Structure 1
């Protein structure tokens, strides 16, 4: 009688699978798949070929849970396995990344085999269809369902963004970025573990390992909105997102969103106000209507599922906040202020303002309103 599934036994199964991935051994990889699950074997064969296109320096699994599954196949026992995939892209990932993987396994002829994948909310780009990989001077673009010419264009934009960011954020950062290029809005949402409507008008976004948080290390390009931009607009967006990657070590949950997005826009626009005449229409309209906000927006103003005009106003306000600091206190002070505002503890923003700029929150917001009137009035 076949023994009940155990974490140890499932770990051995996944260890064989991981070794086959690392060695590029398709036959050994398919030995972990139910020999009678023909359609699934073909899917897994394509998946392995995708994964082998990645510049991997690490790929392994750690079983987290094993449970008996309801139902059976031909009277055979079934179980569900949850594991943590641990992987690293050579030359791009400084640390190990993790992702949750789920499979159904079936007992056959005294052995356990995988016979289906139970996708988590967040999928990896190599699970979305044929994977294409383009390597740039400073970038790695992973695309699925996109013309290779578009992936090469993304790599060129990313390659230009890295030195542009480094000129304004000269601190320590890898100066290499990974860009994910899904085929459409639905697949963009899969990468971000979100509803498609949340990102309908968003050209690109940075995401952390778990799809949330502010320590961004991947740039996800949403093909629809990104494709409607001019070449200059696409470059601004790519540089903005690359700035989030560069500042990830200084960015925490304490960092105000207006400052995080404002600094990224300041870098995206090249540290100048040259784009100001046409780049802040919502803020200009608010000023002309006598509805200029009393203070810079709170984090809720940057919610992607809120009104589009309110989101745009928040971004414009944050940009002018960062631009004001750079102009009135200097670029180095802006960088020091950014780092200080991300330090943990209550009142971090007020402490950072007093320590680096010599003003409190009330005075800073008053100066920002005066600055907006001066720039846009």
Structure 2
């Protein structure tokens, strides 16, 4: 059979089918692979048009209406990578990684999952019909409407559904917060912040990819990876405008300074850093220089001490969960703040700074606080806890 040079008429069709199957498997790209490559080419053109801010060129790749929502955002990078394509006739759904970079703020691109709906015409040309966050992926601000951008000296504020005047007020708060944080932490961080102000609590929840109920009453949060390298994307301070509007002028400033502290300390915050320290330190920086007394800044803890309920130990990470009682959450934050306030008062602000960094440097939680207490403050956890409890009685009794 190996030497046979001919086949019968009946053998021609099966042999051709076999050759087609072999080509489809390895000799040449399959139709699905070709479609994926074709879609990638269209998205490469689309990304270039976004960076060129050319709506006409974007329209040649499909829907361009959404570009008006993102037009004001200064972009240093914008690219798509197709990770999966699911075709059904003349339509398809693409799983895509969008990588974008805000000019002057992000040291590296932010990567987010997106889902694109596409159509193909008779000539085989693909077009984007719709783009949205991937399942379980957070929204981007432009998914919620047209983005307005306001620049401060040390900040960039991006908002949806907010007046320019209100966005300027956030820039003013951030511009005061940045030097206040640098005065304590030093200038070895970016020295600027990105603030996102959605239209409502629901918008905040959308940006975080979580239910709105998780953040009701929370004025702002900061996103970012703890222990992130220097070239990580910039953190985002995300505001809950509903809760923020209920704060007085001092409260608004304390919150922005608190969140800015998280941005500054992110690289030195690790899995070893307990929340009582990271949140307590941020509150300490926020209240520093305001003249607020312990009783004024820690009303829930003051009431507990007055009732003879001095905490037995520093709060656990679980005590900072948003699902618990509001009073319990407030006491957790106030406990962390008073612990950091004690360190600053007894050992000095530089020692508090060094203690924070030393805890984060341990990388793992077991022994991190104990080691830093010994190395930096010359004490141990048992004695420090006793000193803190006595400090509460003195300051809040």
Normalised to the residue count of structure 1, the TM-score between the two structures is: 0.90
Correspondence 1:113-124 to 2 at 5 A: 113-120=127-134, 121-124=137-140
Q: 1:99 aligns with which of 100, 105, 112?
A: 112
Aligned-partner SS, 1:224: helix
Deviations 1:141-177 (A, max 9, x none): 0000111111011111111111111111114111111
Counterpart of 2:24 in structure 1 is none
Paired residues of 1:207 and 1:219 also in contact (CA < 8 A): yes
Counterpart of 1:202 in structure 2 is 218
Deviations 1:17-69 (A, max 9, x none): 10010111111111111xxxxxxx3xx42x21232211211111122222235
Paired residues of 1:273 and 1:323 also in contact (CA < 8 A): no
- Pick which of 117-126 and 280-289 moved more: 117-126
Paired residues of 2:224 and 2:266 also in contact (CA < 8 A): no
Counterpart of 1:328 in structure 2 is 346
User: Is residue 79 of structure 1 aligned with residue 92 of structure 2?
Assistant: yes
Q: 2:141 aligns with which of 105, 121, 125?
A: 125
Q: Shift in Å at residue 85 of structure 1? A: 1.3
Paired residues of 2:322 and 2:329 also in contact (CA < 8 A): yes
Q: Shift in Å at residue 367 of structure 1? A: 1.2
Paired residues of 2:306 and 2:396 also in contact (CA < 8 A): no
Paired residues of 2:283 and 2:337 also in contact (CA < 8 A): yes
Correspondence 1:131-210 to 2 at 5 A: 131-208=147-224
How has the CA–CA distance of structure 1 residues 240 and 285 changed in structure 2, closer, same or farther, with 3 Å as cutoff? same
User: Is residue 50 of structure 1 aligned with residue 69 of structure 2?
Assistant: yes
How has the CA–CA distance of structure 1 residues 31 and 132 changed in structure 2, closer, same or farther, with 3 Å as cutoff? same
Query: If you compute each CA radius of gyration, which structure gives the higher value, 1 or 2?
Result: 2
Counterpart of 1:354 in structure 2 is 374
Q: 1:108 aligns with which of 121, 137, 140?
A: 121
Counterpart of 2:337 in structure 1 is 319
Q: Shift in Å at residue 273 of structure 1? A: 6.2
Q: Shift in Å at residue 214 of structure 1? A: 7.8
Q: 2:294 aligns with which of 249, 272, 276?
A: 276
Q: 2:85 aligns with which of 57, 66, 89?
A: 66
Q: Distance in 1 between matches of 2:38 and 2:383?
A: 64
User: Is residue 306 of structure 1 aligned with residue 320 of structure 2?
Assistant: no
Paired residues of 2:75 and 2:103 also in contact (CA < 8 A): yes
Structure 2 gaps of 5+ residues are: 1-29, 229-233
Deviations 1:237-280 (A, max 9, x none): 11111111111111112211010011101100126763423111
How has the CA–CA distance of structure 1 residues 144 and 272 changed in structure 2, closer, same or farther, with 3 Å as cutoff? closer
Aligned-partner SS, 1:363: helix
Alignment length (residue pairs): 357
Structure 1 gaps of 5+ residues are: 34-40, 70-75
Deviations 1:192-217 (A, max 9, x none): 111101111011111127xxx68681
Aligned-partner SS, 1:202: coil
Q: Shift in Å at residue 322 of structure 1? A: 0.6
Counterpart of 1:73 in structure 2 is none
Q: Distance in 2 between matches of 1:288 and 1:136?
A: 43
Aligned-partner SS, 2:107: coil
